[in-house]
């Protein structure tokens, strides 16, 4: 038997004088059971540094449920009717998603506006989606310094070779600047340069220069300019000699040696020409005898007696006498003897 319609029951109850109770409101299941809805992740942060594109967030607040909490990340390009799409960060337990780490999506294009959203899940319980702010990679990226920097010293110059901070599409490019200074000197800047090879010329030879490089992202059609927010590490290098300095390095010793030869020859010629005078100039001064020197010290001393005493022959002094006779004298002596 089918139940009577509601209007008939209302009419019957109204006729009996009893007011019909209002229909119960439709309350969602999540409001009826507070534990049925999981808390959403918090504090979404997007890191865009060179090639890196990493989304991170704070975990959901803990609950009495001991089951693990996993997260799901999706993205969508704004300005289109496409729905959110999943990435390689589905049912992950970590609180970060790296979009440059491989998978189906290897980084977002430079000029596309992108939205990201994250939600948590614990068993059958899910949280609300948390959506990040819209971003464009080229507009929001932090540009680092050039990579693989090498410096080659030259004749009064330094040549730099390096790689761009990251790869870009055709609509974008980089400009580079070099900050350099001589030790204990003022800093100078050269640039912008568009090539990956820079020559710093007109430098002093045999001097040590320190330098840093920076890169700037330029998007020509959109008038976008992202300056580099960090410089490369300081490196110092000594310049080599230029052509004039090399000639000076050769001529100075040769000239010095030639001058010494000329001076030596001139001195030898003068010595030969004025030899007697040179001997006269360099001869030793006459010496005063010791007796006279003592007399000058004490005039009262009998100098004559002292000289006579010194000049008298000593008792033990002997003179050697050699007698030489000829053969004729020996014959005369022999005849006289006979």
Of 16-20, 24-28, 30-34, 311-315, which gets the smallest average pLDDT? 24-28
- d(C-alpha 130, C-alpha 71), whole Å: 11
- d(C-alpha 142, C-alpha 171), whole Å: 18
Are both 174 and 111 inside the same structural domain? Answer: no
| The pLDDT of residue 28 | 40
Is the per-residue pLDDT at 11 higher than 50?
no
pLDDT tens sequence across 26-85: 334 344 355 567 899 999 999 999 989 999 999 888 778 788 999 999 999 987 667 888
Is residue 322 domain-resident? Answer: no
Is residue 216 domain-resident? Answer: yes
Is residue 210 domain-resident? Answer: yes
By residue range, what is the domain housing residue 153? 143-241
Look over the chain and give the mean of its residue pLDDT values, rounded to a whole number: 77
pLDDT band at 110 (very low <50, low <70, confident <90, very high): confident
Is residue 222 domain-resident? Answer: yes
Residue 180's CATH number: 2.60.40.10
- d(C-alpha 162, C-alpha 231), whole Å: 13
pLDDT tens sequence across 156-195: 899 999 999 999 888 899 999 999 999 888 999 998 999 9
DSSP 229-290: S-PPPPEEEE-B--HHHHHHHHHHHHHHHHHHHHHHHHHHHHHHHTHHHHHHHHSPPPPPPH
User: Could you tell me the two tokens for 44?
Assistant: 């979404």
Sequence-distant (6+) residues with CB within 8 A of 92 are 70, 71, 72, 73
Nearest to 138 by CA among 107, 116, 162, 117: 107
User: Which of 119, 139, 159 delimits the end of a domain?
Assistant: 139
Are both 56 and 101 inside the same structural domain? Answer: yes
- Per-residue pLDDT, averaged over 245-274, amounts to 70
> φ and ψ at 220, to 5 degrees?
-70, -45
Nearest to 134 by CA among 118, 115, 117, 108: 115
Q: How crowded is residue 239: how many other Cβ atoms within 10 Å of its Cβ?
A: 22
User: Which of 139, 161, 192 delimits the end of a domain?
Assistant: 139
- d(C-alpha 49, C-alpha 143), whole Å: 6
User: Which of 200, 221, 241 delimits the end of a domain?
Assistant: 241
Count of domains for the chain: 2
User: Could you tell me the two tokens for 283?
Assistant: 């001869």
């Amino acid at each position: 038997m089918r139940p009577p319609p509601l209007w008939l029951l209302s009419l019957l109850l109204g006729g009996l004088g009893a007011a019909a109770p209002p229909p119960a409101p439709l309350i969602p299941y999540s409001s009826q059971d507070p534990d049925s809805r999981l808390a959403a992740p918090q504090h979404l942060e997007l890191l865009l540094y060179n090639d890196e594109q990493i989304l991170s967030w704070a975990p959901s607040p803990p609950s009495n449920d001991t089951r693990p909490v996993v997260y799901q990340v999706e993205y969508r390009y704004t300005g289109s009717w496409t729905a959110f799409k999943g990435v390689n960060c589905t049912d992950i337990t970590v609180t970060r998603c790296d979009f440059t780490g491989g998978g189906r999506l290897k980084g977002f294009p430079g000029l596309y506006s992108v939205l990201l959203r994250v939600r948590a899940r614990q068993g059958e319980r899910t949280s609300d989606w948390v959506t990040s702010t819209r971003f464009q990679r080229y507009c929001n990226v932090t540009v680092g310094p050039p990579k693989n920097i090498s410096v080659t010293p030259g004749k009064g110059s330094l040549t730099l070779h390096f790689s761009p901070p990251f790869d870009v599409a055709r609509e974008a490019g980089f400009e580079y600047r070099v900050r350099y200074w001589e030790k204990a000197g003022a800093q100078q800047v050269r640039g912008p340069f568009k090539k990956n090879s820079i020559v710093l010329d007109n430098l002093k030879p045999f001097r040590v220069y320190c330098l840093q490089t920076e890169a700037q992202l330029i998007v020509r059609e959109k008038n976008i300019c992202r300056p580099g927010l960090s410089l490369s590490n300081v490196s110092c290098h000594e310049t080599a000699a230029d052509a004039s300095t090399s000639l000076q390095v050769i001529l100075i010793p040769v000239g010095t040696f030639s001058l010494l030869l000329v001076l030596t020859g001139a001195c030898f010629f003068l010595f030969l020409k004025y030899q007697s005078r040179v001997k006269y100039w360099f001869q030793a001064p006459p010496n005063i005898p010791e007796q006279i020197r003592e007399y000058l010290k004490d005039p009262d001393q009998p100098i004559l007696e002292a000289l006579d005493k010194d000049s008298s022959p000593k008792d033990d002094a002997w003179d050697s006498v050699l007698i030489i006779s000829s053969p004729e004298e020996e014959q005369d002596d022999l005849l006289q003897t006979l």
